[in-house]
Structures are given as structure tokens and as C-alpha cells.
Amino acid sequence: MVLIAAGTWWWANRVPMVRVPDRACGGALSGNAVAAIFPEKGGEYQERLWSTFDPGGNDSLNIWCSMRAADKSALASYTWISPGVADGFENGTPIKLGETKGYTRPFIARLFVPCLSSGRERYSWLMVTIERFAKNPKDPVEVDDQRDPAPMAELVADAARHVTQQLKCETASTLPAGPPVIGADVAG
């Protein structure tokens, strides 16, 4: 019996810790906030950035950061949307960061951020999204539904603050530090 317990302890301690850098996704996200959505052990953290972002006024914007650790993966993305499109995405617990609204669930969080900057009147809203996925598509979604949605909401707030500063949106200075307000306190 002692031999089995020692073998189990050795095997469990042999699994590597997931180590996320202090800043993830090209500096956009807090490493601690990213680590909170992944298991503590199970493999190396990896990320990949992709962008068609043109700060010179191009109307196209498609930025994403793919993150992977252990048996989970996540995606941070930023996309221009037209006003009113956000209404079709509302699905989850309401969140609010300053005057910016969105929603969160245990596996996804979105904020719809007005971004008024020169040359962008046509696409004046950003949809900032953080999604978390199981590597194995057969893993039940219910497992994710039991998790606290607050870490996802915190990550989407970090992402929104970062991208609005990069795009020089007028709203960049109005997005408060810290996590968004979640749930019933998000009135109006």
C-alpha cells in the first residue's frame, strides 16, 4: 500500500506546472489572470499572436491570441462590429466596465466597446472576446458551466483596456482598472 501511495505521489509531482509569463498575448493580458483559466499542472504554456491590425486607419481589424496549456486552450480576439450587432450576441451574466457593457459565462466573456477615433466612424464598436475551450471536443460543457465566470470577465477587461489604448479610442481613458462589475449590479 505504501509503495502504491509513493508511486502515485511521484507520478503526480512529475506532471509539470503550467507557467504563464507576467504579461501574456503580446503584453495585452495579465499572466496571473491567464493562469487562472488554466489547470495548475499539465503542460507548457504556449501562445500564438495573429493580427491584421493597421493603426494607420485601415477599416479591417482582426486580432487574436491563441493560448494553450495542459488540456485547455483559450482565444482572445478583437473585431470591429457595426452598432446594433452587439444585441445579437448577448448571452450570459451581464458585466460592465465603466460605461462599457457585455456578458460573461464560465467559458466566454465579451465586452462591446465604443471606439471613436479618427477615420473609424463606420466601425465604431469593438467586440472584445475571451473564449476557453477543452482540447478534447468530447469533454462535457457542463464542466465549464460549473466554473466561476469572474476570471473570464477579468481577462476581457484587461484585453479591452489594452486594445483601446493601442487603437487610441476615446474610451481608453474611461475604462477603469480592476475587474468589471458582474451580475445584478449591472443596471441600465
Report pLDDT for 63.
Answer: 75
Give me the amino acid identity at 62. N
CA distance 175 to 114: 11
Give the pairing type, strands 125-134 and 108-114.
Answer: antiparallel
Q: Would you give the distance in Å from CA 111 to the centre of its chain?
A: 10
Which pLDDT does position 97 carry in this prediction? 94
Q: Which position has the higher pLDDT, 60 or 84?
A: 84
- Tell me how far apart the alpha carbons of residues 7 and 179 are, in angstroms, rounded to a whole number: 42
Separation CA 116–CA 172 (nearest Å): 10
Predicted local distance difference test score (pLDDT) of residue 60: 54
Give the pLDDT confidence of 23-77 residue by residue, as tens digits.
988 888 889 888 888 888 878 888 898 875 554 444 556 678 889 888 788 889 8
- Report the predicted TM-score, pTM, of the whole model to 2 decimal places: 0.78
